[in-house]
Every structure is written in structure tokens, then in C-alpha cells.
Chain A
Amino acid sequence: MKSHFAALAAALLLAAPSAASAQAGSKGTVKVGILLPLTGNTAWAGKTNRIAATIAAEEVNAQDLAGGYKIELAIGDSQCEPRAAHDQAERLISQEKVQLLIGEWCSSASVAAAQVASDEKVPLLVNISTADQIAGDAGPYVFQSSMQNRYSQQREAALLAKDFKFESVAIIVENNDFGLTFRKNMVALMQKAGKKVVLDVTQDRNDTNWYATITRIPASKPDLVIVSISAVQAANFVKQYAEAGITTPLFSDYPPPPRIFERQVGLQAGKIGLVRASFFVTSETNTPAQKEFVAKLEARAQKELNEAHDVTYWDVASYDAVRLVADAIKRGGPQADGYLKAMAATKADLVLGHYEFDEQRGARPDGLNFVFIRTKPDGSIEVVQ
């Protein structure tokens, strides 16, 4: 009898994985469109975001994490541009017949995609863009799982008040939704704290020549310069700032990706003593889930792109977004009504942290990771807080 039980148990164990994989897809396939920049000046980031999303989809299907549905990803190259994001969202919906959307990367592009999602009544999860109220302004079909600028800037202002001695600031941002919401929030926070904003500049996102802006800094004599500039532009800015020999302390919003940025302009950033915020940085203090994700993505990126890669916040957000979508499908199904209700009720612990949404469908900030890092003179990173 014992041997019969043992044989039965062994047979069940052997059958278990195939039963699970047979179950994923038993209710059908859900096509999920992802808007990412695969060409243009943020393509370098979009390519690894796609890999991260693909890893998540593979895991969802292998472990049946979408409640019997299989997820199939359809990628749209939205180039971090509003027009391209709009067109690709339309294409994914009308030609690829996606039922759900994720993306985009740049806030202005996400706003454009959100407009399409609302018009076509296709749920969209904005997973990377951080401009305020993208979901709140777009209506019930749009959720935003990234931390909005207003929350991150409150934390940044608190750090500045604690660790920096200054009475006046220069605020420099890109002229787009991302930069302008940062500027609005930061100016208000600085004024509330009694600090004087002596220079307030916006610059075109594609203009790599920051020298004109930098020229104006010494004349306005700020005690501190605060910037919110996209990743590559931030490298251009820091390079030109250091070359101009300006010694005014510099604080940056989160975009410069840790280590990738340090490889580009680490010595210049270290010379200035740049302090910046970050949603994610690989370190010894990472959670086991983060360490596991970093190992998986770095290996896969090396294999597919044939180059070493340091995991970015955007990679983590891309992975988590697919998992959030799968979780909502599991609880509410892929049809819009059920899916939206399930997404609103999300309580998920994923790689970046704990996700829940507020009544405006924006991610609650409490559970999400946020650290401050400083670039040291040798170009390495130290976590400040």
C-alpha cells in the first residue's frame, strides 16, 4: 500500500508542472500592448525595459499568475514622443487588437497614450512616467503605478532642508510635462520653506547645448542648483557644468540612472558632489526579490544585447507593470470592467515595493522605494539616505 501511495505521489509531482503550464492559457490569451522607446535618444533604456517586461510575461505564463490566461506582449516603439506614442497606441489597439496597454516612458508621451486609451476605452497602466495626475486627468481607464512627482518632490525637499544649507536656489528643468510638473511642485515647496528662487529656467528636451543655461547660473548667484532633466541630458548638463568650473552644489531629481550615469560622467559628478534621488539602486541592501530580478535581467541583457547592463528603475517598473496587469487579470478577468475594478483593489508586493492605488488611480507612495545617493570624487556611489 505504501508503495502505491509513493508511486501516486511521484506521479502527481511529475505531473504538477505540466498541469500548471496547461492551465496558463486554458481561458485564452490576453494581448497586452507595451509602449516603449526603442528608437530615439532613450532607446538605450527602452531595450532593456522590453527584456524586463518579457521576463515578467514568461514568468506569468510559466507559473499561471494570470488566473488561467496567457499573456502575449505586443510592443509599440513610441520613441518617448507624444505623436509616436499616440500613433503606436492606436496601432496596437486597432491592428494588434490588444486588450490592455502599458507605458509610456516620457510623461508627455504617456499623456498622449492616455488620451487614446480613454477614447478607445482600453485600460492603460502608466508605469514609468512620473508627471502628476496622468491617471487622474485621463479618467477611469488609466492607472499610474509610478510614484508621482508631487510625492517624490516632497521627499526631496525634506532632504534638502535637512542636509543642505541654502537660502536661494536655481531650478532648471526640461520643457515638457515631466519637467514642468517638477518645476511647479519644487518652486511651491521652496517658497513655502522661505527659500528664494533666483533662477527658473526651462530648456527644450532635445537641445543638448546647456551652456547658455549654465552661463546664467553665476550671474544669479544661487546657493544651490536643482535640476530635473532626463537621463542623457542630465549627463550632458553635468559634463558642461563641471567644465564650466561652477562650484555651486548641485541636486538632481531621479532620472540619472545609477552606475550607467557614473560611467558616463562619474568623475565630473563626483567633482561637483552631485546628490540625487533614485527609485532603485543595486546594492547590498536590496531585498531578495530585487537581487533575484537583478541577476535575471543582467544575464538576459548580456545575452540579448551583448553588453553589460546595470539594472535601472525603469527595468524594475517594466517588470512590475506586467506582473500588476497579470494580477488584475487573475482577479478581475481581461474585460475592462472587471479588470479596472481589480486594478483599483490591487495590493501587491513586487520588486520595487508595495503597490496600492488611491482614488485617483495613482500609486500610493508609502510602499515604494526612494533613496538618495551621492557620487563620490572617484565616480562611485554612496547611499546618503
Chain B
Amino acid sequence: MFEQIVVNGLVLSGGYALVAVGLTLTFGVMRMVNFAEGQSVMIGAFVAYTAVPYVGYVGAIAAAMAVNAGLGVILERTAFRPFRGVELNGLIASMGMSIILVNLAELVWGTTPRPFETIYNETSITLGTVGISVQRLLCVAASAALLLGLWWLVQYTSLGRKFRAVSEDHETASAMGIDVNQVSRLALVIGSMMAAAAGALAGPVNMIAPDMGRTEMLNAFAAIILGGFGNVNGTILGALLIGMIQSFAAVYISNAYSTSIAFGLLVLTLIFFPRGLVPERVDENV
């Protein structure tokens, strides 16, 4: 049973981490919270669902990420740039966008939850006494690959250096010739693309519906707080811990309260590590 619990925890962690790094990237660069990130997950899932018959599953993931890149541009232009420096207004604007996205999805795809089947759902690998669908294993592998890619981008590319510079001090970065608006837009675009991948990967594991994405959002916030707000590496560590705690708690303590247990441990951790497990050091953050 141990292997199944670990795989389940990794599936949860992967989804949370993809959402959380998008959120933390946006926060690190813009100091604003994107409350529409959960709905970006939902849009990603629906776009992939719609695209699968035409371009196959891998193509559908790419299509979802491409559409969400556009969504990121729209979000940056409407809910973030106009409110730069007035964080509360930006927060409300992104909440408003999240509601608009849900209503839009209801109009386009209806309210009845739909099954999102891929060829990877149909094949299972037996671990111990329970089968694990290839789709779940794909979720783990793809999440890891995307997170590794993002880490590499932030650490070793010119764009990553710009992210870090704007994160540290956007006025100085601007004075040094960095286009802060462009960097902010790219942060939101990458965050939305990560959310799309999370939706396209996790969508086939459950039903997809316009109200999906909320649980992922809540757990992503927990991961960010646990890892240290604005810190990509800490966020990934936080997501891993939250997913694993939920998975083990569900089996060994209680399914009914697995989320409460995870959040209880989060509060407990924050009592001893108030700035998260990887405390914020601005120059190393995004």
C-alpha cells in the first residue's frame, strides 16, 4: 500500500506545485496575488478536453498552454497592470476575473461535469494490490518535467535574471533598462501556462467542471505559505509536503479530515517557522 500512497501523494503534489509556482512567480515579480489562477486550471482542462479529438492528448496539453498564454496576457492587461501599486484593487480585480472565467466556461461548456478520457486512463499498472492508471504516472512525470524546466528558466536564463531583478527591486530594474511591464506580463503568461498544464494533466483523473480549480488553488496557497511566499524552490517543497501529508493522513488517520490535518500541520509549522520552511531572501527569489 505504501507505494500507492506515495504515488497518490506525488499526483496531488504535482498539481498543487504547478498552480503554486504560477502564483508565486506572479507574486514574486508583481507583489500581487492572482486569484484567477484556479480558474486558469479549469480553462486549461476544458481547452485540452476540446482539443483532444483534433490534436491528440499531448497536442491538447500544448493547445491548452497556448490558449492560457493568451489568457495570461489578458489578465495582466486588465486585472494587474492598471492596479500596480494598489494591491487590494488588483486582488479584487483578479477575483472578478475568476468569476467571469467560471461564467464563460458555463456558457461554452455547460454546467454538467464531463468525463475527460485519454488513452492513458484505460491502461493501468498494478502496484501491490491496486492499479495505477498511466494517466496518474504521466501527471507525476509531466509535472516534474515542467517544474524542472521552470527552475532552469528562472536560474539560468536571461529572462530568469530579469524575473529576479524585478522581484528584488522593480524601480532599480526599470532604471537598468528592464521592461518591467513585459517581465510582469511574461510572469503571468508562464503562470497561466503552468495552470493550463495542471488542468490538462489532472482533468482526466476526475470529472471536469466549471467549478474545478478551487481545491488546487487552496492547496497551492498552503504550499506557497509553507514554502515561503515568492520562493519557487520553497513552493515546490511546500507542495510536496502538503500532497504527501494529505495522502498519508487520508489512509492512516482519516479521509474525512485529511485536508484539515494538512492545514493544521501548516499552522503548526508556521508557529515555528513564521516565514515558511525556506525563508524569503529576496535576492534569491523570483
Count how many chain A residues have C-beta atoms less than 8 Å from C-beta atoms of the other chain: 39
Among the stretches A9-17, A188-196, A239-247, A351-359, the one at the interface with B is A239-247
Number of CB contacts from chain A to chain B under 8 A = 114
Find residues 123-144 in chain A having any chain B CB closer than 8 Å to their own CB.
none
Find residues 162-215 in chain A having any chain B CB closer than 8 Å to their own CB.
175, 201-204, 206-209, 211-215
Taking the nearest CB of chain B, how far is it from the CB of A245, in angstroms? Answer: 3
Contact: B206 with A208, CB < 8 Å? Answer: yes
Minimum CB distance partner of B255 in chain A = A203
B79 at the interface (CB under 8 A from A): no
Task: Give the chain A neighbours of B211 by CB distance below 8 A.
Answer: 39-41, 43
Contact: B257 with A239, CB < 8 Å? Answer: no
Tell me the B residues contacting A by CB distance below 8 Å. 1, 4-5, 8, 11-12, 106, 110-115, 121, 124, 126, 129-133, 135-136, 205-207, 209-211, 214-215, 246-247, 250-251, 254-259
Task: Give the chain A neighbours of B205 by CB distance below 8 A.
Answer: 209, 240
Tell me the A residues contacting B by CB distance below 8 Å. 39-41, 43-44, 47, 175, 201-204, 206-209, 211-219, 232, 235-236, 239-240, 243-246, 260, 263-265, 305, 307
A-B contact pairs, 26 of them (CB 8 A): A39-B211, A40-B211, A43-B106, A44-B110, A175-B255, A175-B256, A204-B257, A204-B259, A207-B258, A209-B250, A211-B11, A212-B5, A212-B251, A212-B255, A215-B1, A219-B129, A235-B115, A236-B206, A239-B121, A239-B206, A243-B121, A243-B131, A243-B132, A244-B131, A265-B115, A305-B110
Complex alpha-carbon distance, A318 and B233, angstroms: 51
Task: Give the chain B neighbours of A219 by CB distance below 8 A.
Answer: 1, 129
Main secondary structure of the interface of A (DSSP, over half): helix
Contact: A202 with B255, CB < 8 Å? Answer: yes
Task: Give the chain B neighbours of A240 by CB distance below 8 A.
Answer: 205-206
Task: Give the chain B neighbours of A236 by CB distance below 8 A.
Answer: 206-207
Complex alpha-carbon distance, A206 and B210, angstroms: 14
Taking the nearest CB of chain B, how far is it from the CB of A266, in angstroms? Answer: 9
Contact: A245 with B124, CB < 8 Å? Answer: yes
Contact: A212 with B130, CB < 8 Å? Answer: no
Contact: B111 with A47, CB < 8 Å? Answer: yes
Given A44-B113, A244-B130: A239 touches B207 (CB 8 Å cut-off): yes
